[in-house]
Amino acid sequence: MKKTLTAIASLAALSSYNAFAQEQGTYDREYNEGVYVGANYGWLRVDSDDEFDDDKDVWQGVVGYRFNQYFALEGGYINFGDYGNDITEASTDGFTTALKGSYPITEKFSIYGKLGQLWWETDYKLGDVKGKYDDESLFVGGGVAYEINPQFLITAEYTVYDADLDAEDAIEDIDDTNFDTDLKQASIGVEYRF
């Protein structure tokens, strides 16, 4: 219930800001508002790995709605692929939702940040034992975007997923929350605005 109320409050705040911007005459619909889709491909670092590894790749598809040039709401599907070693193997995928904040640096370049929730499921194999595990986690990310034209952008992004932390735990007891990070993603991607 808390998650639903938080999402509704966030949407209401963003909608209010959107209406205010329109009244002030600072709103350019072609540039700021509307649906977008995107995809990215990257590399994954799991737990205590020292570096990103070519054989641990991740891909993601997203769809979002831009309320203006600064704020968007985004959802997506992410596949972390297969990872592990000779003894243990795992495969993880899931769905995300996030608030995205952008800030233009120049006419073509902008920076952005994301804060969201990941609902994930892992299929694992430990020797001959197979199983499934699902949970939810918070994530935070940031990146840069380069505008080829008003509809098409290229992005580079870095995202950290905390597999031990979910939104409900963080809200209820932030002092007793475990902030161990399990997955880090570096990716490049594209975005198309309708």
**DSSP labels for 126-147?**
ETTEEEEEEEEEEEEEEEEEEE
Query: For residues 30 and 150, is the Cβ–Cβ distance under 8 A?
Result: yes
Kindly report which listed range (107-121, 142-156, 161-175) carries the lowest average pLDDT score.
161-175
Whole-angstrom distance, CA of residue 135 vs CA of residue 45: 19
15's tokens: 């909608």
111's tokens: 């920076």
Whole-angstrom distance, CA of residue 52 vs CA of residue 125: 22
What is the mean pLDDT of the segment spanning 82-111? 88
Instruction: With cut-offs at 50, 70 and 90, classify the pLDDT of residue 164.
Output: low
pLDDT of res. 163: 64
Whole-angstrom distance, CA of residue 36 vs CA of residue 81: 25
Kindly report which listed range (59-63, 88-92, 125-129, 172-176) carries the lowest average pLDDT score.
172-176
Whole-angstrom distance, CA of residue 183 vs CA of residue 90: 13
pLDDT of res. 126: 80
pLDDT of res. 2: 47
Q: Please, what are the domains in the chain?
A: 29-193 (2.40.160.20)
Which pTM was predicted? 0.69
Question: Per-residue pLDDT for 7 more than 50?
Answer: no
Kind of pairing, strands 109-126 and 88-104? antiparallel
What is the mean pLDDT of the segment spanning 86-105? 89
Determine how many CB atoms are found less than 10 A away from the CB of residue 55. Answer: 9
Question: Per-residue pLDDT for 17 more than 70?
Answer: no
